[in-house]
Amino acid sequence: MQVKSWRTRPARAGTAVLLAALAVELTDEVVDGTKSAALPLIRQSLALSYGQIGLLASVPLLLGSLLEFPLGVLAGRGRARRLAVLAGGVVFIITLVAAAAARSFTGLLAAFVIFFPASGAFVGLTQSGLMDADPQRREQHMARWDLSGSVGSVTGPLLLVVVLAVRGDGEAGGGWRSAYLVLAALAAAAWLAVAANPPPLPGSPGPARPGAGAAWRQVLAALGQPGVARCLVLLQVCDLLLDVLTGFLALYLVAAGSATPAQAALGVAVRLGAGLAGDAALVWALERFRGLALLRASAAAAALLYPGFLLAPGIAAKLALLAALSFATAPWYPLLQAELYGSLPDHSGVAVSLSSAASLLGGLGPLAVGFLAQRAGLGWALAVLALAPPALLAGLRRSGGPRRPDGTR
């Protein structure tokens, strides 16, 4: 029997490969969730001002995105990308240890900035490898990827609570350092898993690592491909009702919904829990329905639920509508991201770079909401986000929706 080489073997992501990739995404979101929950302790421990807290949130996003942008395209494909993933994972782990050891604002900021491109290499390139390994099931794998991330987001704060309970020094403000060391250990376990179970190399390897000039030409050529620019725009538009809304949710519930701080915290928990349920339901639904039908139904539902959430008179009604909205918007990111990879089937690394660039521009969304809230009030600022569902529906009508691997819709 003739044994085929990796250059001709059809790529397929087995269970171990899929679980290893999902472990990477889970770890990344656990880190993010822990960081958000630990900010009060970090501020107390390092005696940070609110301005410095704001810089810890914004500077890593801006500088990190600039550093992350070329990674996807320069990493290439095949073995070169595997090395980039593993190297990024090593830096990922080191930055978590560095954050735990930071004794000043400058040291912590440096660790957070370096963490961003390390995450892009470790997490983003692992995602692109998974998409290349099993193109027939991009939507299904992205749904599982998003579900894993949602589990991580919920797990992060719980991990911090457990660490503080074990240490018994939550009031001292130093328990977050132990939490970051635990995160480094989790990241090391994820690194070992993906090192032992990498996605299979694609059947059509292409250039292993393009030069800088060729890389830029690939990016420009990709932007000219049908649907790529539209998909990048829709991903950022949809993020208005995803991460942007989540970032302002607690403030809105207190300022406009007359909620107590405890009720606002409950609102964030409802948001995360309902989103997790929506991600789990999407995994089931994609085995039975087309991604296009799910996207259209979710956008139509959100177009009704979000205004209802804003106009609901009491906190109980707001939380109920918030849960329904969070459940309904679960398909947006995974299905649109799967379509982006489908539009660039032989250039998944370019898709990673373009996503990073679009996210950098999308970072202006929270800034715009903040400035508008300063002038008109937070309620009116968040009302503008109601444009996201109609924009998604319009984009889907124009494109015909996500493509299947054979090019059909």
Convert the pLDDT of each residue in 62-82 to its tens digit.
Answer: 777 777 777 666 666 667 788
Nearest Cα neighbor of 356 from 337, 369, 342, 371 is: 337
Q: What angle do CA 156, 54, 154 make, to 5 degrees?
A: 15
Comparing 131-140, 202-211, 236-245, which segment has the lowest mean pLDDT?
Answer: 202-211
CA distances from 161 to 99, 120, 320 (A): 18, 27, 26
Q: How confident is the model at residue 132 (pLDDT cuts 50, 70, 90)?
A: confident
SS3 407: coil
Checking if the pLDDT of 305 tops 90, the result is yes
Domain made up of 15-202: CATH architecture = Up-down Bundle (1.20)
Q: Distances from the Cα of 48 to the Cαs of 16, 54, 76, 178, in angstroms? A: 43, 10, 41, 19
72: nearest Cα among 264, 356, 394 = 356
pLDDT of residue 215: 58
Sequence ranges of the chain with CATH classification 1.20.1250.20: 15-202, 222-399
**Per-residue confidence at 157, pLDDT binned at 50, 70, 90?**
confident
- Full-model pTM: 0.75
Percent of the chain with pLDDT over 90: 31
d(CA 388, CA 243): 13
Q: What is the pLDDT of residue 164?
A: 82
More confident residue, 20 or 214: 20
> 222-399 — its CATH code?
1.20.1250.20
